[in-house]
Amino acid sequence: MRYFLCVCLLVFGVGSLAFSQDCRLSIRGRIMDENSVDALDGANVVLLETEQNVQTDSKGRFLLSNLCAGKVTLAITHIGCETSLFSFQLNGDTTLRVKLNHKEEHLNEVEVMQHRKESHVTQHVEQLEGAELRKLKGLTLGETLSKLPGVTTLNTGATISKPVIHGLHSNRVLILNNGVRQESQQWGTEHAPEIDPFIAKRITVVKGANSLRYGSDAIGGVILIDPAALPTTPGIGGEFNTAVYSNNAEVNLSGILEGNHAKLAPLSWRVQGTFRRGGNSRTPNYWLKNTGVQEGNFSVAGGWKKSNYGVEIFYSFFKTKIGILSAAHFHNLTDLQQAIESKVPRELSGFTYNINRPYQDILHQLAKAKVYFNTGKAGDMSIVLAFQHNQRTEYDKHKPLGDNDNRPGFQFAIQTISADVNWEHKPVKGFSGVVGFNGMTQTNNYNYGYFIPGFWNFAGGVFAVERWNYRKIELEAGVRLDYRWLQAFLPSSRGGAKPKSQWLVPSGSLGLDYHITENLKWNINLASAWRAPQVVELYADGVHHGSASFERGDADLKQEMSFDLSTSFQADFSWLSASVGFYQYFIQDFIYAKPTLTSQLTIRGAYPAFDYTQDDVSLTGGDVNLTIKPYRGIELTNRISLLRAWNRTADEWLIMMPPQRFEHGLRYTFRDFKQVKGLYLGASAQIVLQQKLAPQNQDYLPPPPGYWLLNFEAGATFAIRQQPVHLNVAVANALNTAYRDYLNRFRYFADERGINVSLKVSVPFFISSKPHSLN
């Protein structure tokens, strides 16, 4: 009764006050680090006039509601920073963008924005940044992206993974590394992207056909790996990261050092490096022989930024040595068949960091130069030139007879020169847009054994995208025309021919965003895309050591054509964040590797055999990402990924498509202490159903049973003498469950990893070159 009376008094009191002034206003906003553009989660925002207190979420967002008109003062604090004050006149619902110079501990800029969320594309977009990305550091790019709904991984053993979006992977998913299209040996299902995830400050996944801006092949989507912007504040700073894992005793060390000087303000620079080493992985019942990894990467960047123009340069070096499961290679057909039928690998070992044959040795280098300038009232122009060199060396299990030099099975080197020119015109009566050109020339040569021929590849495309904004509606339309030319150089042992192929294909898209309210948005997108067959699909003929398979191409394969319809609904409230998306692909002449069900015996051993073929297919599915906050500190998360892939030509299910996946989690975030902020505990259950939507009797083994995994995590940010330290502890597969995943090529021979405990520490730091100040 006492509680009821208090509520009644409060309601009547607020009601009577509303007659004299408007007390239904709100202030919402987003707080970001001015230097890194990271969202600052766990920042405290206090309205001093009423002592109303809120904390930003993982995306840096906050909401203060039921406010009265008049002058208001916000006090903003974040761990390691002193309180920053900002006052303004509140006359209506207001949206703020706050840029906090986190490193120098003062409020640098507050911008009053329009009362509308920004939107960049009319497609379903997922992002990882800030605290959510930080706690995933140390994982591979594929493993990191698999935390998003609709994104899974195609694995080869315990050490190699690549992202799969809506069942599509490899050349159907484009990856832009620091604004440059990643070009490497993407022709294999086990060729993971040669990118250091520690360099990323933001990872964006655009789902669905998106070929207009980035070129052909983006049938499944685009992944954008963006580092932080170069610093513009004088001083030297950086970040140190370490991640260790118990399962394979893996250690990751990574550091960034960057700076800017007051006397030469336009000049900024950054250096970054990563070291990674892991030994054999362990399943719940045995060690996986020869599954270690060694990796060393570094990058340097520099920029000269003026008000009307700027120049950026970037260079990265990526080198890794990856062990391939020894139990996937065999001398004869009898051993291969027995291994497929066995529940335990034919070769076992203990733990070691040593990597022996078979293994991969990979080197990737990227050099980039970007120039951008303001063309006045016309708009903005950017030009990006890039060079990439990728060398992949694969060693089979046994040295050739009489070989004393540890020669590899084969070696490929691919060189790519690319150019991108974009001009974005200024908004005119609600219209804004961009026109551009992409060009690329590429050569690939091989040494030692034969798997695919050397080739020369040329591609070029022009595009135009226009966007129209009117009140709550945003409409986007675009067209593109691509030309691709390919010449292969077959060795004399394969006839010595030099076949040529060329394609000239248009594509287009039409999309609509409808902002129902500030918190509700709906979009729909219709797009076409295409992909030329790759050299491996056309001319492969031999043993692919990395995936332990024998593959044969088909020179008569035609281009893939995709027609994609997708729609999504997004809700964003203080207590609810929801994203629900549906998609439908119709792909003509879809190319895939089909098991022949007869093993191939070679002088290198016996291997499962696969032939490249193509059929018309349809992919129908949906993604759900739901976060509910029923009470302060409590978060309930649900992620669902559903897919039905149908082979329309064969009138049956399509092979090697992701099964249905569910993830349910619970997290509790404690109130902040004086020196500890953002302390949380969480648990989640990942449920993967058996893939029953697969064709019968068309694989060496039927899909494995479904499984569920229990995971735990905890984290916090500590202030040690004003120095923030981010700490995260996680336990994956806490019940040490034995299982096999349908999308792992080595599921024929071994189980997946068992329990894996990880510890991750991130320490940002800043050394100011000028006296401390507070606005």
Looking at residue 277, the DSSP 8-state letter turns out to be E
Confidence (pLDDT) at 400 = 64
Q: Mean pLDDT by 10-residue block, N- to C-terminus, for the chain (775 residues)?
A: 39 36 71 70 80 78 79 78 74 77 49 42 77 83 82 78 87 90 76 86 82 82 89 88 96 95 89 96 96 96 91 96 88 82 89 93 96 84 96 83 74 94 88 92 91 93 92 92 96 91 95 91 93 93 82 95 94 91 96 90 83 97 93 93 96 95 95 87 96 93 96 92 89 97 90 96 77 29
Which pLDDT score, from 0 to 100, does residue 257 have?
95
Cα–Cα distance measured from residue 167 to residue 618, given in angstroms and rounded to the nearest whole number:
11
Number of residues that make up the chain: 775
Q: Judge if pTM exceeds 0.85.
A: no
**pLDDT number for residue 403:** 63
Do residues 754 and 282 lie in contact, with contact meaning Cβ atoms separated by under 8 Å?
yes
Residue 423: which residues within 8 A CB-CB, separation 6 or more? 375, 378, 379, 380, 381, 434, 435, 436
d(CA 565, CA 172): 16
Structure tokens at 244: 């260790």
d(CA 128, CA 480) in angstroms, rounded, equals 29
Phi-psi region of 504 (alpha: psi -120 to 50; beta: other; left: phi over 0): beta
At 489 the pLDDT is 95
CA distance linking residue 536 with residue 362, whole number of Å: 18
Q: What pLDDT does 273 receive?
A: 96
Q: Count the Cβ atoms, other than its own, within 10 Å of residue 470.
A: 10
State the residue for tokens 């049956």.
652
CB 245 within 8 A of CB 731: no
Q: What is the DSSP string of 485-514?
A: EEEEE--GGGT----EEEEEEEEEEEEEEE
| Partners of residue 244 on adjacent β-strands | 251, 759
Q: What DSSP letter does each residue of 702-771 carry, written as one string?
A: PPPPPEEEEEEEEEEEEEETTEEEEEEEEEESTT------TTBGGGGT------EEEEEEEEEEEE-SS-
768: left (phi over 0), alpha (psi -120 to 50) or beta: beta
Give the number of other CB atoms < 10 A from CB of residue 290.
26
Q: Which of 671, 474, 627, 574 is nearest to 29 (CA)?
A: 574
> Three-state DSSP class for 462?
strand
The predicted structure's pLDDT at residue 741: 94
Structure tokens at 324: 């391939």
Element containing residue 211 per DSSP (H, E) = helix 211-214
Q: What is the structure's pLDDT at 733?
A: 97
